[in-house]
Amino acid sequence: MQIKPLVVKFIAPIIFAVSASATFAVANAAEITGAGATFPYPVYAKWADAYKKSTGTSINYQSVGSGNGIKQIKAKTVDFGATDDPLSIEELDAAGLTQFPAIMGGLVPVVNIDGVAPGKMKLTGDVIAGIYLGKITKWNAPEITALNPDIKLPALDIVVVHRSDSSGSTFLWTDYLSKVNAEFKTTVGAAKAVKWPVGLGGKGNEGVAASVTQQKGAIGYVEYAFVKQNKMTYTQLKNKDGNFVEPSDDSFKAAAAGVDWAKTPGFNIILDNQSGKASWPVTGASFILVYKQQADAEKAKEILKYFDWAFKNGGAMANDLDYVPMPAAVVKLVQEKWKAEIKDASGKAIW
């Protein structure tokens, strides 16, 4: 099976010169560049396509992983960065950046086992941690069969697949496993890039999805849009309240329901392992990074106009891919932050 890469590239219009006697009135539309998280890439690509059709402005977003997105915005080689691992207030202030949440969604464990249908296998975070620590090595191990008495599991080696790049998805995954398994926390820990005890690396959600699809016995973690588009076999997960749940926009919304964005400095919120009977345990938000002081005020305004458009018009597209749009109250907080923090070279508010 070939993994659909969800790659969309947007190229600024090219204006061709002709003779002096013939001219064309061609609008030199703007191009905005961004780079970072692969987790939200499917919805960012969909938004960008619709935005270009609506406004003529191109959004050239490179899905290179959260770590590289942070590096590129700090190096000022892109107009905005994107990360699934929000920066602390201290790191934001040191770099002169501000951040805001753009979308929410879920990471999903996926497996490749003959005879196991999507959504039928049950796993817990503790068992997954044991697998990623290399302590549970067969699919018919007692820890797994006890959770799945109705599934005949084979004596098949487990092939662990993880991200090879610096990734906000890896941060979310390892943060969740660290919260539910003390040994994982002390041995591996939570970060965008970790030293994995076992397993194969794949670059981006695409690389992990491809590796799991190609290898019998594999397990990996990918964003839910990749699961749906590529018809991958996902598992249920036991949440903090002790309920086995399936990934969906409803279970992602449930995980975010109790979060107080207004009282959290810098919107530095981690959504995994939240309470709630219907909460999906590996839910996360993806964040946009921009500079507080903008040398090019017009370009900065274009960036904010794009995300304002996405907040107002992108909800249905997000829902189609099983992402969760930011609630209206959070969008209002975000736009208040734009007014308060994003300024031109003279200190005048841009938004």
Give the pLDDT confidence of 193-231 residue by residue, as tens digits.
999 999 999 999 999 999 999 999 999 999 998 898 889
**Quick one: which of 107, 105, 113 has its CA closest to 233?**
113
> 30: pLDDT confidence band, cut at 50, 70 and 90?
confident
Angstrom distance (rounded) from CA 278 to CA 163: 28
Residue 318 has pLDDT above 60, yes or no: yes
Collect all residues with Cβ–Cβ distance below 8 Å to 328 and sequence separation of at least 6. none
Confirm if 260 and 299 have CB atoms less than 8 A apart. Answer: no
Q: In the 8-state DSSP scheme, what is residue 242? A: S
Q: Which residue has the tokens 């700090």?
A: 74
Q: Kindly report the CA angle at 64 between 118 and 67, in degrees rounded to 5?
A: 100
Give the mean pLDDT of the chain.
91
Residue 7's pLDDT band (cuts 50, 70, 90):
very low
The DSSP 8-state label assigned to residue 118 in this structure reads: T
Please give the structure tokens belonging to residue 253: 């919304």
Token representation of residue 289: 């990074």
Contact status, residue 140 vs residue 155, Cβ threshold 8 Å:
yes
Q: Does 39 score more than 80 pLDDT?
A: yes
Tokens found for residue 284: 């996360």
Separation between Cα atoms, residue 311 and residue 300, nearest integer Å: 17
Q: What pLDDT is stored for residue 3 in this prediction?
A: 55
Which amino acid is residue 268, in one-letter code? N
CATH number belonging to the domain at 107-255, selected among 3.40.50.800, 3.30.1330.10, 3.40.50.2300, 3.40.190.10: 3.40.190.10
CA 232/CA 218 separation, integer angstroms: 12
Give tens-digit pLDDT for 54-109. 999 999 999 999 999 999 999 999 999 999 999 999 999 999 999 999 999 999 99
Return the structure tokens found at 143. 């820890």
